[in-house]
């Protein structure tokens, strides 16, 4: 509840003042704008901006898909095989289109409660991303990718509400992995439902699209 209160305070200050106190994962309006911009991408634009992210996620399961980072974590630094891939999104000045994306960032656990990130290429050293995709490897066909991205961003919008203690509108009451911020909170606290779980049993929530979302269970004991 304290964490919810802090997140709500950050969001409230951003709404009522000129101060930018909201990290990307709490900025509901910006997340909706990112989702709209991604949804407008043509197949060529999708490949240009997000092709390497697709290959990183799917390449672990598909032998014909080459991962850009096949083995990014130094030997013996991780305590298990859990990897989460993060991918920053930057919008144009008018927020109507995707301007560019980052390299792939890799999160792993060096010990219990000790997440580490290997940073990928950052196109802007002095600018915060407008959004960030966060997901484990997934057995995903290329023709599913646009639907997957939209659903993942929809789950992130859901999490932006939940993180600050608000029930999201009906459109966003879906089940599946959203932000790492909310997933870690759900998996480390018994009183926070498993919104990230496609098979979760939460009144009023449903999984409209389901994907093989890799392994989330091993992270449970690591984040407590």
- Predicted pLDDT of residue 1: 65
| In-domain check, residue 6 | no
Lowest model confidence (mean pLDDT) among 6-10, 65-69, 112-116, 167-171: 6-10
DSSP characters over 116-175: EEE----S-SS---SEEEEE------GGGHHHHHHHHHHHHHHHHHHHTT-PPPGGG-B-
pLDDT of residue 5: 64
Contact 132, 88 (CB under 8 A): yes
Any domain includes 159: yes
The pLDDT tens digits for 161-178 are: 998 889 999 999 999 999
What tokens were used for 129? 């991303």
Domain assignment of residue 34, yes or no:
yes
Residue 162 maps to a domain: yes
Candidates 83, 84, 118, 86; CA nearest to 102 is 86
User: Residue 58: exposed, middle, or buried by beta-carbon count in 10 A (0-12, 13-18, 19+)?
Assistant: buried
Q: Is residue 11 part of a domain?
A: no
14-63, pLDDT tens digit by residue? 666 675 667 888 899 999 999 999 999 999 999 999 999 999 999 988 99
Residue 81 lies in a domain: yes
105 inside domain:
yes
Q: Virtual CA dihedral for 61, 65, 69, 72, nearest 10 degrees?
A: 30
The first and second tokens of residue 25, run together, are: 């994962």
Cα 16 to Cα 106: distance, rounded to the nearest angstrom:
35
Instruction: Please name the residue ranges forming H helices in the chain.
Output: 2-16, 28-39, 43-58, 145-163, 180-188, 220-223
Residue 200 is predicted with a pLDDT of 86
Structure tokens at 8: 């709500």
- The total number of structural domains that make up the chain: 1
Alpha-carbon span 144 to 209, nearest angstrom: 10
Q: Is residue 78 part of a domain?
A: yes
Q: HSE on the CB side for 6, CA within 13 Å?
A: 4
Q: What range defines the domain where residue 148 resides?
A: 24-189+199-223
């Amino acid at each position: 509840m304290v964490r919810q209160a802090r997140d709500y305070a950050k969001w409230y200050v951003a709404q009522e003042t000129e101060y930018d106190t909201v990290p990307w994962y709490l900025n509901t309006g910006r997340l909706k704008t990112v989702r709209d911009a991604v949804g407008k991408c043509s197949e060529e634009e999708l490949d240009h901006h997000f092709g390497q992210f697709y290959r990183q996620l799917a390449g672990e399961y598909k032998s014909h898909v080459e991962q850009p980072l096949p083995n990014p974590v130094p030997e013996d630094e991780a305590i298990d095989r859990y990897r989460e891939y993060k991918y920053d999104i930057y919008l144009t000045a008018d927020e109507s289109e995707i301007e560019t994306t980052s390299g792939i960032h890799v999160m792993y656990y060096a010990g219990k409660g000790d997440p580490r990130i290997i940073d990928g290429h950052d196109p802007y050293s002095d600018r915060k991303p407008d959004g960030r995709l966060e997901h484990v490897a997934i057995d995903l066909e290329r023709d599913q990718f646009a639907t997957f991205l939209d659903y993942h961003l929809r789950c992130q919008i859901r999490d932006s509400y939940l993180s600050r203690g608000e029930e999201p509108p009906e459109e966003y009451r879906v089940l599946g992995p959203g932000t790492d911020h909310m997933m870690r909170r759900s998996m480390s606290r018994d009183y926070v439902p498993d919104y990230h779980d496609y098979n979760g049993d939460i009144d009023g929530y449903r999984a409209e699209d389901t994907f093989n979302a890799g392994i989330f269970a091993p992270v449970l004991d690591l984040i407590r």
